[in-house]
A and B are shown apart, each in its own frame.
Chain A
C-alpha cells in the first residue's frame, strides 16, 4: 500500500502541492484526476524523488521513500512513466528495455523479461533493434510503460499515458494496464487528464485542484457525481 501524508512541494514562490494525503491499495488502480496545473505531475515526481518535498512523507509498504535518491526509490520497486514517456531516442527499443531491467536482472534473465514486454506490446518486438526515435507516439508510450514494468515494480506511477494518442490506442493501453494490475498485484497511480478513460479502469479516484485533494472516493462514485465532473473533470 502506498501512503502519502501531508505532502507539500513548492517551485520557488509557486506552491504546487499543499498538504496532499492519499492512499493507494495494493492491487488496485487509483486515478489521480484534475485540471492542468492542479499538481498531478508534481505529486508523481515527489513520490519518485524527482522533486524535493517541503513537508510530508511517502511510505510504500514498510519503507519510507521520502528523502531517498531517485535511483534507490526506483530500486525499491517503484516504476515511474513520466509525462511524454521520455524514451531515450538515441538508444534502440531493446536497449531502452534492457536499461529498465538492468538494475534488477542479470544479462541472461533479461532476455526472458524483455520477451514478457514483447508479449504485452507485440509492436515493440518488430521494432526491437530500431532506434526509439523512429517510433510513433503510441509505440513510444508502449515502450515507456514496457521499460517501467520490465523490472516488475510493485508500484507503477503513470503520468498521462494517453496524452496525444488515438482513442483506440488509449483503450488498448488501458486494457494492458488492467491486465498487469490483476496479474502482478501491482499498485497503480494513474494521472490522467482524460478522466473518462481513467475512471473506466480505476478502482479509486482522487481529484486534485490547485494543489489540494478535493475528493477521494471509489471510481464509480466519482464518475456518477455530475457536479464533480462538471467542476473538475470537464465531462
Chain B
C-alpha cells in the first residue's frame, strides 16, 4: 500500500510536467495544425540560459523569470522566422522545420555548454515530506510542480475563456478566414500562440531539470511522453493536455514502479497505441471541430 501511494504521488508530479509540455504542443497544434518537435529542445535552451544566469549568482527566482521570458521571446521568434514560411505548405515541411530546429538547438547547446551531464538546482527541497511518522515520496518541490502547472493551466484557461485576446485566439485557431473577416489579425495571434506555448515549455524545462540528468538531450524523452499525453487528451484540447499528462504520468509510474523503469518508454508506446485504437480523437477533443 505504501509503495502504491508513493508511486501514485510520484506519477502525479511527473505527469503534470508532461502536462505542461503537452499544453505547449496543444496550443501550437490547435492554432497552426503543426506538431512542434522542437518543443522540448526550446525548453532545454531556456533552461540552459537559466543555468548560465544562475552561474552569475543572481539566485533562483530571477533565473526562473529569465527562462520564462526567453521562452516567450524564443517562441515568437521561431514562429516568425521559421514556421511562418511553411505555414500553408504541405505538413511535412513543418515537420522537417521543427525537427531540424530540435537538432540545431541541441547542437548549439552542446557547443556552448558541453554535452556533459550536470545538475540543476530545485526551487524547493526534494526530500520527501513526512506525514505522521512516515516519509512519503512527495517533496516540497513536487508541491511546487503541482502549483506551478495548475496555475499555468488556469491562466491559459482564463485567457482563452474570459479575455478578448483569448476569444480572438480561439477564433483564429478554429476559423482563420472568418476571423480575418472580423478584423482579427490572425498572423499576430499565431505568433502569440507560439510564444505562450514556449513559456509553458520553459516552465516544464525548469521543473524537469532538477529531477533528471541535465544535458542538451534531457527533454527528448519528456517530449515523447508529452506527445503521448497530448494525443491522449485530444491534441486540440488544453484541458485534455492537463488530464492526459496526469494519466500518462500515472501509467508510467506504475509501469516503472511494478515492472521496472527500463520498460517506461515501451509503456508510453503501448498507452499511445491503445488510445489510438479505442478513441483516436482523444478524450477531450471535439471530433467535429477537427480539421483534416
Contact = CB atoms under 8 A, between A and B. Distances in A.
A103 B182 contact: yes
Contact of B170 (A48, A74, A91, A147): A91
A140 B95 CA distance: 37
A88 B177 contact: no
A71 B184 contact: yes
A87 interface: yes
30 contacts: A50-B180, A50-B181, A70-B180, A70-B181, A71-B180, A71-B185, A71-B186, A74-B182, A74-B183, A80-B181, A82-B177, A82-B178, A86-B175, A86-B181, A88-B178, A89-B174, A89-B288, A90-B170, A90-B174, A90-B289, A91-B171, A98-B164, A99-B167, A99-B179, A100-B183, A102-B182, A102-B183, A103-B184, A104-B183, A148-B181
Contact of A86 (B177, B185, B288, B289): B177
B125 interface: no
Contacts of A108: none
Contacts of B183: 71, 74-75, 100, 102-104, 151
Given A70-B180, A148-B181, 12 more contacts: A50-B177, A74-B180, A86-B175, A86-B178, A90-B175, A91-B170, A99-B184, A100-B182, A102-B167, A102-B168, A103-B183, A104-B183
B286 interface: yes
Given A71-B185, A133-B288, A88 B171 contact: yes
A50 to B, nearest CB: 7
Contacts of A5: none
A133 B289 CA distance: 10
Chain B interface residue count: which class? 20 to 34
Contacts of A231: none
B173 to A, nearest CB: 9
A86 B177 CA distance: 9
Interface string B180-207: 1111111000000000000000000000
Interface in B201-226: none
A148 to B, nearest CB: 8
A88 B175 contact: yes
A74 B186 CA distance: 13
Contacts of A102: 164, 167-168, 182-184
A82 B183 CA distance: 14
The 3 closest A-B pairs by CB, nearest first: A103-B183, A86-B178, A74-B183
B167 A98 contact: yes
Contacts of A75: 183
Interface string A76-115: 0000101000111111000100111011100100000000
A70 B184 CA distance: 9
B15 to A, nearest CB: 27
A151 B184 CA distance: 13
Nearest to B165: A102
A100 B288 CA distance: 23
A80 B182 CA distance: 8
Interface in A47-85: 48, 50, 70-71, 74-75, 80, 82
